[in-house]
Structures are given as structure tokens and as C-alpha cells.
Amino acid sequence: MSDDGTTYCYHCGTRHPTVEMKLIVSKGGKRWRCIKSIKAANQGRAAREAFGRQTTELNKAEARSKVKALQNAGQG
């Protein structure tokens, strides 16, 4: 948990408001996971795969945005 009220979700790899998270006990220990990913996992394979694809696209878009910002910063 960070000072800005967000917590890293080990499942989707992004930060979410802490109120949208649950602390899950796994084989590797306690980890934070967003409620949205937990609900998607309980809805069956198709919902899990759709959630995964959506999360992947969001993460890729965020990464592209960061690269573009770094490139623009280097040009000015």
C-alpha cells in the first residue's frame, strides 16, 4: 500500500484504489488483488480470458504512452 491510497494488484499489474482491493492468501504469501479480477475469475473461463485481454491492452497502452512521453522529453 502506498501513501497515495493505491495498492499494486499482482494479478493485473496495475495500481488501484485500496478500497477496490482484497488481501488474498496464496502459496507465495499474502498478496493484494483487485475485486474486479476476483469477480472475473469467478465467472468462468470466457470472462477470465476477456478480462485478461482487456488488462493486457490497458497495460500495453500505458507502456506505449510512457515511451512516447520519454521520447518527447528527450527531443525538447
pLDDT in tens, 4-32: 889 999 888 889 999 999 999 988 899 99
Domain encompassing residue 36 = 6-75
Position 10 in a domain: yes
Q: Residue 56 and residue 5: Cα distance in Å, rounded?
A: 23
Position 31 in a domain: yes
Q: What is the pLDDT of residue 2?
A: 60
Position 21 in a domain: yes
Exposure of 64 in the CB half-sphere (CA atoms within 13 A): 6
Q: Residue 22 and residue 70: Cα distance in Å, rounded?
A: 33
Q: What is the pLDDT of residue 1?
A: 58
**Residue 35 confidence class, pLDDT cut points 50, 70, 90:** very high
Position 61 in a domain: yes
Position 17 in a domain: yes
59 near 13, Cβ under 8 Å? yes
Position 1 in a domain: no
Position 50 in a domain: yes
Domain count, the chain: 1
Position 37 in a domain: yes
Per-residue pLDDT tens over the stretch 60-71: 998 999 899 888
